[in-house]
Structure 1
Amino acid sequence: MGDKLGPYELLSRLGAGGFGEVHLALDAEGRTVAVKVLHPHVAADGGALARLAREVETMRAVGGPHVAEVLDASLEGARPYLVTRYVQGRPLSAVPVPVADLRRLADGLADALLAMHESGVVHRDLKPANVMMTEGEPVVIDFGIASALDSLSVTASGAVVGTPGYLAPEVLEGKNAGPEADVFSFGATLAYAATGRQPYGQGPASAVAYRVVHHAPDLEGVPGWLEPLLAECLSTDPAARPTAAQICARLDVAPVSHVPRVFAQPARPRSDADDTSTREWRPGKERHQRSAEESRARHREKVRRRWVIGSGLFVALLAAAAQETLPEVALFLLAAYALGVVSDAGVALFSRALYRRRRVVTDMVSVAGAVGLCFGLAAVFSTFTLALFAGTALVVGIVFLLSA
């Protein structure tokens, strides 16, 4: 069993960043999620946590296929954490570049940018490492965290939260960072994906930051359909950069409805005097998702159906193997299987269990299928072949059970 954090079971460490460690975890209903456990120095900054708590309320509203939605958060206690949708894949910084399907990447990032900005969220740290590639589609992670925590006392001495080369000039100069800063990061990220090079070169962070503020980006090799847009996105003047909506229009990205997610009500009343508390909510409680009880019933029905069908196949094999030499045994096996399955169907028929009609249909079809398969196999294969099949099925079943 893994480490428990609230209702989540931490399975394995996926990585770490400036603000915390990310773990693959299971929620209370057995679904995979990503849990970001904030570093101790972050957890010790009450002002930063209060600001993050306020930002999380906005971050929850960001949805869409190209963002990893915030599902849950607990910013109290010794180990505050955020929970997001788990995205299986590799970061853009770890895939071969230039990217083969650049159009698909650009469209997905533009959609993610629009989803965040429509909800009032500024990412502040958009870069290849925060873009997960899953089956060719980009998914932006960690949005809003850097923007919420850039006032941490550990960074108050002048350190910049983010990655030079992808941070906008106004951020490097200590000015306020709005949506325009994300547009700059969008342009730098796409420039890297299109050319395989950092748009402002490599070297010490201070040297890269100087080039961002004073030099033009390296866009050599960017396709002609994209280069003018990236040049505008990488303008040193925030007012000269296009908005997310304008980027989508330039790329002819069809607008996607980024519907805010509906979460459960707070588990406990919030104290007016407690500014650092945040509301507790759980994933999977949206309006159109199944309840926990229905999810468990669905899982039980799936397991039961597999057992009924699997045991029917095995009984059909055994009965077919005994059909020629021991017909009484074959009849007994089929009758016992049919009696057990029919009894199960009868119990379901008169109960209030979910999926009872589907359960009855599955049971009846399984009995008919087992009988038909038995006589069909006996007519086609020899007794020795059927016995060999049955023995192999038995060994595979035992191995499967032991491994499970």
Structure 2
Amino acid sequence: MSEHLGPYELLSRLGSGGFGEVHLALDAEGRTVAVKVLHPHVAADSGALARLAREVETMRRVGGPHVAEVLDASLEGARPYLVTRYVQGRPLSAVPVPVADLRLLASGLADALLAMHESGVVHRDLKPANVMMTEGEPVVIDFGIASALDTLSVTASGAVVGTPGYLAPEVLEGKHAGMEADVFSFGATLAYAATGRQPYGQGPASAVAYRVVHHPPDLDGVPEWLEPLLRECLSTEPGARPTAAQICARLGVAPVSHVRHVPPRPIGTPVRTGDDLTTREWRPGRERYRRSVEESRARHREKVRRRWLIGSGLFVSLLAAAAREPLPEVALFLLAAYTLGVMSDAGVALFSHSPYQRSRIIMDLVSVAGAAGLCFGLAALFSTFTLALFAGTALVVGIVFLLSA
């Protein structure tokens, strides 16, 4: 049975990290979101929550195709949580490496880095596990959380604020860490994606941290066009690293501002349709906002109906063409039965309120005319034996397709 947390219906647990458990959820309007419920030891730290509350308004300003935007938050009560855009895909740490399209990954990560830094947000825990790969595009998740919750009490409670091998030397040494630390993590993440190896090797966390501070990274196998940039990003001196804007310029990424102008809203106030900040799912390269659940279901039903309409029309045409010469009555019966079925569907569509009503009726009429025309055309071009062979093959392929589906 599903569980509710505020206005969100928790559907399934997606994973757990140092700060909380992530759940796939539905908002009040049925759209998918990701809800991060903070661990009890984090929720018990009032100082950490106060700092996170101050940072959330800044985090909400970060937008763009390569970041999972913060949509909502409720940091009061027994179970504080953050709500972000749900990104369907697998983390970079779980996909085959080296990555095939490294330029696309590098450009997307650079764009995400610029979007965060333009808004004044430091990720502080950028690593392959926090980069979701969806349709070949990277999307950065969990930005700002590690930075906001980096307090002594949270760290002492067992939360891991960062991952050795991807943390900058100044972070490991306890020095001030700003946006330059994200640039280091960007370089280490890309190095892993380019080579399939951890840039500072594996082993105990202390050993990896020592290599980060005292040894150069392992960049063997990094393409020539990328190696100089990564070497600069992984410099032990923060001032020697390029900025996010300079990285974008080096990679040829157009500098587009992704800062979201979000009106002030009390933390935990339910999001309403029409607000600038709505819980919508967005995939790179597609429409800005995801359709509602009912719209998506209607669109899926229409797609399935069209496939069946075309497939059955082709099969009936083959059978009718094969039977036309030896059994003309059978051929006529098949075409008549198909026409009756399709026209009944058109009649149903005529009285429905579906947004696909017009296209559905047109598709039905075209299918009837197309089936009849195809039948006579095939009968004129091929022999009865050949058409029967085609029909048998189509039947076998259709059965195999249904079984596999």
* Cα distance change, pair 303–4 in 1 and its aligned pair in 2 (3 A): farther
Q: Is 1:370 matched up with 2:367?
A: no
- Aligned-partner Cα distance in 1 for 2:59–2:79: 23
Superposed CA offset, 1:64-84 (max 9, x none): 343344566676775946444
Does the Cα contact within 8 Å between 2:117 and 2:179 map onto a contact in 1? yes
Instruction: Identify the range of structure 1 (367-376 vs 48-57) with the bigger mean alpha-carbon deviation.
Output: 48-57
* Cα distance change, pair 324–261 in 1 and its aligned pair in 2 (3 A): farther
Q: How does 1:59-98 map to 2 (within 5 A)?
A: 59-70=59-70, 80=81, 82-89=83-90, 91-92=92-93, 95-97=96-98
Aligned residues: 390
Q: How does 1:206-355 map to 2 (within 5 A)?
A: 206-213=206-213, 215=214, 217-218=216-217, 221=220, 229-258=229-258, 260=260, 277=268, 279-280=270-271, 281-284=278-281, 290-349=291-350, 352-355=353-356
Instruction: Identify the range of structure 1 (220-229 vs 374-383) with the bigger mean alpha-carbon deviation.
Output: 220-229
Does the Cα contact within 8 Å between 2:37 and 2:80 map onto a contact in 1? yes
Does the Cα contact within 8 Å between 1:127 and 1:166 map onto a contact in 2? yes
- Aligned-partner Cα distance in 2 for 1:223–1:367: 56
Secondary structure in 2 aligned to 1:18? coil
- Aligned-partner Cα distance in 2 for 1:329–1:224: 68
* Cα distance change, pair 35–159 in 1 and its aligned pair in 2 (3 A): closer
Q: Is 1:358 matched up with 2:355?
A: no
What's the CA shift for 1:167? 1.5
Does the Cα contact within 8 Å between 2:124 and 2:182 map onto a contact in 1? yes
What's the CA shift for 1:315? 2.9
Does the Cα contact within 8 Å between 2:349 and 2:357 map onto a contact in 1? yes
* Cα distance change, pair 382–78 in 1 and its aligned pair in 2 (3 A): farther
Superposed CA offset, 1:290-313 (max 9, x none): 455543432332233223223323
Instruction: Identify the range of structure 1 (57-66 vs 357-366) with the bigger mean alpha-carbon deviation.
Output: 57-66
Instruction: Identify the range of structure 1 (121-130 vs 173-182) with the bigger mean alpha-carbon deviation.
Output: 173-182
- Aligned-partner Cα distance in 2 for 1:52–1:207: 31
What's the CA shift for 1:113? 0.8
Does the Cα contact within 8 Å between 1:8 and 1:28 map onto a contact in 2? no
* Cα distance change, pair 203–342 in 1 and its aligned pair in 2 (3 A): closer
AA in 1 matched with 2:280: P
* Cα distance change, pair 373–200 in 1 and its aligned pair in 2 (3 A): closer
* Aligned twin of 1:181: 181
AA in 2 matched with 1:144: G
* Aligned twin of 1:170: 170
Does the Cα contact within 8 Å between 1:35 and 1:81 map onto a contact in 2? yes
AA in 1 matched with 2:332: L
Does the Cα contact within 8 Å between 1:345 and 1:359 map onto a contact in 2? yes
AA in 1 matched with 2:255: P
Superposed CA offset, 1:256-301 (max 9, x none): 45364989x99xxx6xxxx7x3544532499765455543432332
AA in 1 matched with 2:374: L
AA in 2 matched with 1:375: F
TM-score, length basis structure 1: 0.74
Secondary structure in 2 aligned to 1:110? helix
AA in 2 matched with 1:333: L
Does the Cα contact within 8 Å between 1:42 and 1:48 map onto a contact in 2? yes
- Aligned-partner Cα distance in 1 for 2:404–2:28: 23
- Aligned-partner Cα distance in 1 for 2:126–2:337: 63
Q: Which runs of 5+ in 1 are unaligned?
A: none
Secondary structure in 1 aligned to 2:313? helix
TM-score, length basis structure 2: 0.73
What's the CA shift for 1:141? 3.1
Q: Is 1:148 matched up with 2:148?
A: yes
Instruction: Identify the range of structure 1 (362-371 vs 61-70) with the bigger mean alpha-carbon deviation.
Output: 61-70
* Cα distance change, pair 81–333 in 1 and its aligned pair in 2 (3 A): farther
- Aligned-partner Cα distance in 1 for 2:60–2:183: 21
Q: How does 1:25-40 map to 2 (within 5 A)?
A: 38-40=38-40
Does the Cα contact within 8 Å between 1:45 and 1:152 map onto a contact in 2? no
Instruction: Identify the range of structure 1 (39-48 vs 324-333) with the bigger mean alpha-carbon deviation.
Output: 39-48
- Aligned-partner Cα distance in 2 for 1:42–1:351: 52
